[in-house]
Amino acid sequence: MDHHTHTDRTHSHARASGHGHGPTVGRWARLHHRAAHLVTPHSHEAMDKVDSAMEASAEGMRTLWRSLAILGVTTVIQAAVVALSGSVALLGDTIHNAADALTAIPLGIAFVLGRRAATRRYTYGYGRAEDLAGIAIVLTIAASSALAAYEAVDRLLNPRDITHLWAVAVAAVVGFLGNEWVARYRIGTGRRIGSAALVADGLHARTDGFTSLAVLLGAGGAAIGWRAADPIVGLLITVAILLVLKDAAREVYRRLMDCVDPALVDAAERCLAEVEGVRGTGRVRMRWIGHTLHAEADIVVDPSLTVVQAHRVAVASEHALIHAVPRLTTATVHVDHPPVDGGQDPHAALAHHHSGPGPAV
């Protein structure tokens, strides 16, 4: 792929990010890009990628602050009703909501750490902090399920009367609505920016919403004289929490083990096969670091190509990967050739191309 096509691809990508230019500025941008790429070919679009990661972290922080505010208001309302009614079930739900609000702290720290630049010690940056936050969230969900089970069993063994049932019912509905709103908001943002920890935190908020419904059903049972309704429903909700815990733990585990959707690998292999000059593809690997994807790919080119020509194919391949795979910010392309006559080592002419915020190594 020649430099003209390469530059047009870059310019259209910039327009998609909201940085469009007029015809005159566009011509200057293309000339400036060609000159810059000749001087520093390995830093192409580095700032765009860094900006994208920063925007994702900023969106995650906004989600955390807004959900923290909603859960804070919910917790205060429920705490007031607990003081009025003496409902132990509602007290447990209030504790759950407070704990869910506090999970914003490790996630917020992770998003802040993820903005730090890579160093010679942490060469891939600090994106893995999100995975550590995900572990903390999973442990919090596990503790919430244990607390819900304990309260349900205790209520079965030691029945208690509840006063001001209408206030308890209203507080339960408020708790459910607040948690469900937060759950949808966190899960939506987490999936959009690729944050497994934020998705797990949203699932945790959903478990607390289920607990709030248990309080509502228990209050309804108490209103008709069935004192065991609240603890029985509480045990059922504990089972539901454990199911959500399993899903959240699986998602965090897969992220820690560098698991990616096989469809992303298929898309990468298809787009590489369509790049002009690529005669075959080898191993394609991807991993999540924070909420961005990083890839390594092996391609095979004609052995008669010069180093400069092979480098151009690598650049075109890297650009194809960036545009074909969502959330992919950096790609390292290894260029090899099939065996040639004379038994020459096919790796002797190995070329290497790297794209990303940092220099190639």
pLDDT digits (tens, 9 = 90+) for 27-63: 433 433 333 332 333 333 433 434 455 567 788 888 8
- 3-state SS, residue 65: helix
Better-scored residue on pLDDT, 35 or 81: 81
What pLDDT sits at residue 202?
Answer: 85
- What is the Cα–Cα distance from 146 to 216, expressed in whole angstroms? 20
Q: Extract the tokens encoding 205.
A: 């908020």
Mean pLDDT of 298-314: 94
Beta bridge partners of 352: 334
Across 140-164, b (16+ Cβ under 10 Å) vs e yields bbeebbebbbebbeebeeeeeebee
Q: What percent of the chain has pLDDT over 70?
A: 78
> Does residue 212 surpass a pLDDT of 90?
no
Contact 355, 348 (CB under 8 A): no
Neighbours of 172 (CB within 10 A): 26
Nearest CA among 319, 314, 318 for reference residue 301: 314
- Tell me if the pTM is above 0.75: no
Task: Give the model's confidence band at 286: pLDDT under 50 very low, under 70 low, under 90 confident, else very high.
Answer: very high
For residue 31, the one-letter residue type is L
Mean pLDDT of 321-343: 83
- What is the Cα–Cα distance from 30 to 356, expressed in whole angstroms? 20
Contacts of residue 310, defined as CB under 8 A and 6 or more positions apart, other chains included, come to 301, 335, 349, 351
Contact 182, 202 (CB under 8 A): yes
Nearest CA among 251, 254, 248 for reference residue 103: 248
Task: Give the model's confidence band at 7: pLDDT under 50 very low, under 70 low, under 90 confident, else very high.
Answer: very low
Better-scored residue on pLDDT, 201 or 10: 201
301: left (phi over 0), alpha (psi -120 to 50) or beta: beta
What pLDDT sits at residue 184?
Answer: 92
Angle formed by the axes of helices 262-273 and 307-324, nearest 10°: 140
Domain boundaries, the chain: 47-256, 259-361
For CA atoms 242, 177, 99, 292, give the dihedral sign: positive
How many residues are present in the chain?
361
Better-scored residue on pLDDT, 199 or 21: 199
- 3-state SS, residue 351: strand
What pLDDT sits at residue 352?
Answer: 45
User: What share of residues in the chain are helix, strand, coil (percent, to 5)?
Assistant: 70, 10, 25
Better-scored residue on pLDDT, 251 or 43: 251
Cα Rg of the chain (Å, integer): 27
Angle formed by the axes of helices 46-85 and 104-114, nearest 10°: 170
Angle formed by the axes of helices 23-39 and 3-16, nearest 10°: 120
Name the CATH superfamily housing domain 259-361.
Cation efflux protein, cytoplasmic domain (3.30.70.1350)
The lowest-confidence range among 58-72, 92-106, 167-181, 315-329 is 92-106
Strand order in the sheet with 328-336: 280-289, 292-300, 328-336, 351-355
User: Domain 47-256 maps to which CATH number in 1.20.1510.10, 1.20.120.1200, 1.10.600.10, 3.40.47.10?
Assistant: 1.20.1510.10
Contacts of residue 341, defined as CB under 8 A and 6 or more positions apart, other chains included, come to none
> Does residue 354 surpass a pLDDT of 60?
no
What pLDDT sits at residue 360?
Answer: 41
What pLDDT sits at residue 54?
Answer: 52
Neighbours of 350 (CB within 10 A): 13
Task: Give the model's confidence band at 347: pLDDT under 50 very low, under 70 low, under 90 confident, else very high.
Answer: very low
Q: Extract the tokens encoding 345.
A: 């080592």
For residue 238, the one-letter residue type is T
Task: Give the model's confidence band at 296: pLDDT under 50 very low, under 70 low, under 90 confident, else very high.
Answer: very high
Residue 282 dihedral angles phi and psi, to the nearest 5° = -110, -135
For residue 190, the one-letter residue type is G
Task: Give the model's confidence band at 341: pLDDT under 50 very low, under 70 low, under 90 confident, else very high.
Answer: low
